Amino acid sequence: MKDYSYELLDLLEKYKGDAEAALRGETSPWCLYAFSPLRENLFEWLEIGKKDRVLQVGSDYGSCTGLFAERAGEVVVLDPLDENLEVNRKRHGEKENLCLVRGELPKAGTESLGWKEYKGKERAAEELDALYKDGFDYVILPSMLSRTEKNGAADLLARAAALVRPGGRLLAAAENESGVRYFMGAEPFEHSFLEVEFRGLFEDLKEKFGGTAMLYYPVPDYRYPVTIYSDGYLPQTGDVTNISARLDGPGLWFGNEEKAMANACRNGDFTKFTNSFLGMWEKGKA
């Protein structure tokens, strides 16, 4: 997915930092993607408390950072791009429990993280190393998999899982390569996964680290979720009535998404053709 940080910084300047005003005044898909309050629905249901520490991997323009900062005791946002962190800072920089860090998830055996706080309290490298070693109750990748090639996804999730505390959770979202919107003609614009591939990523975490894994299915998709189903709660025929949201740019229109999804539900194939996935791995308690 293309990074729109500079365009968003221009909008924040134009609207004096008011994301809601930008939403009212602009029509671009990337403005909606970054600033829509629907973005928070993907994680709003999580029981994050003031005793929890959250690591958000990928700044994602701060679309969910405000929610995490309101709920958690401490939030660390990790991203290699200064410009994306700057969008986040302009939106949420006043949060006292928020630490923006320039860097990437470390590989196994890495001695020096190379993390650097972005325009914050200028914590020393030793303090940032301590954040890493202490681990997190939630490690959340809102859209990192959309920027990750399939052959690198398992490694990315394994590195993220290494930072999860006992009893903690790892969550990551991605597009479904066989999502019904693509059969209807929408243009894919990010890396995506088949259901068997995405499910396999989280089953691999369970085999490697123990714990449990669960898949969720945001509708219409993970970017603008209105309803979230799960393996334990799947829709019946006719339940999915809001899947036709076309907010991701141009594409040909070959049919009715709701009718196609109704047929998928009737045949027990909802999970194969839903537009997006959200995976959760919960680490066992020590």
Q: Which 3 state secondary structure label does DSSP give 97?
A: coil
What is the 8-class DSSP label of residue 238?
A: T
* Predicted local confidence at residue 180, as pLDDT: 82
Give the separation between CA 243 and CA 256, rounded to whole angstroms: 10
* Predicted local confidence at residue 1, as pLDDT: 65
Determine whether 153 is exposed, middle or buried from the number of CB atoms within 10 Å of its CB (0-12, 13-18, 19+). Answer: buried
Q: What is the CATH number of the domain that holds 90?
A: 3.40.50.150
Specify whether the CB–CB gap between 68 and 140 falls below 8 A.
yes
* Predicted local confidence at residue 235, as pLDDT: 77
Report field, pTM of the whole predicted structure over 0.85:
yes
Give 3-30 pLDDT, tens digit per residue: 899 999 999 999 999 999 999 999 888 8
* Predicted local confidence at residue 250, as pLDDT: 46
* Predicted local confidence at residue 141, as pLDDT: 98
Count of structural domains, the chain:
1
Q: What range defines the domain where residue 118 resides? A: 5-282
Provide the residue type at 242 as one letter: N
Beta bridge partners of 229: 217
What's the sign of the alpha-carbon dihedral 56, 60, 65, 68? negative
* Predicted local confidence at residue 268, as pLDDT: 73
Give the separation between CA 152 and CA 158, rounded to whole angstroms: 10
Mean pLDDT per 10-residue section of the chain, whose length is 286 residues? 91 95 92 93 98 98 98 97 96 95 85 82 81 92 92 96 97 92 74 95 96 94 91 76 52 58 72 92 89
Helix axes 82-92, 5-14, angle to 10 degrees: 30
